[in-house]
Amino acid sequence: MEQGVRAERQLAVILFAQLRNFEQIADMLDPEIVMNLVNEFLTLIAETASQASGETLGVQNDTAMIAFRGAPPMQTAQKAAQTALSLQVELTGLAERWKTDYGVQTATAMGLHLGEAVFGESGTAGSPRLLGAFGDTVTIAERLARRSRAGEFVLSDAVMAALSVSNLPLNATPLPAIEMPRRPPVRIFGVLLDNRLDFT
């Protein structure tokens, strides 16, 4: 085992935000425009999350991962859900502007799950170390983002249970449970904008 690697197991809410239809956008537009749009998407996510003490841990293709940790479950869940609500509105506005400016259609779908994750810096020898989160909590949050419809965010029952003692208004609708290999079914809830797009 490599010496000096710092890691910890910590309770957190993991939020995945996925930009739908971005593969087609990347194929349609000039590379410089594609990267400008990616950076605009990531900047908005990072700035919105940081206002609620969220950490943007990384991006893979069209999906960003955010972690909320270091506080009691109710506060952590409340910060994560408030961020999802804010992003739902802000990213819808961003998508409308992209449609006007570039003639492309997109929307963001998000998934949130509360549980323990391993946090630590990782990377290959000789490369910069990057903070990441690992474990089943991350896997479930990513799956919920894939399950979410365009313009929607999906929360696990663990997040909803932590939110049940808070005063955050959340119009969440129960959805069919997620079935995952070697795990009990995960009960989920969806929060959907009235003006969501229907292409995904």
CATH code at 120?
3.30.70.1230
Q: Say if 198 falls within a structural domain.
A: no
pLDDT by 10-residue block (mean), the chain, 200 residues? 72 96 90 92 93 90 92 94 94 93 92 96 71 92 94 95 79 91 91 61
Strands 107-122 and 152-156, bridge-based pairing: parallel
Q: How many other β-carbons are positioned within 10 Å of the β-carbon of residue 84?
A: 27
CB 76 within 8 A of CB 15: no
Q: Say if 61 falls within a structural domain.
A: yes
| Domain residue limits at 102 | 7-192
Domain count across the chain: 1
- pTM of this structure: 0.89
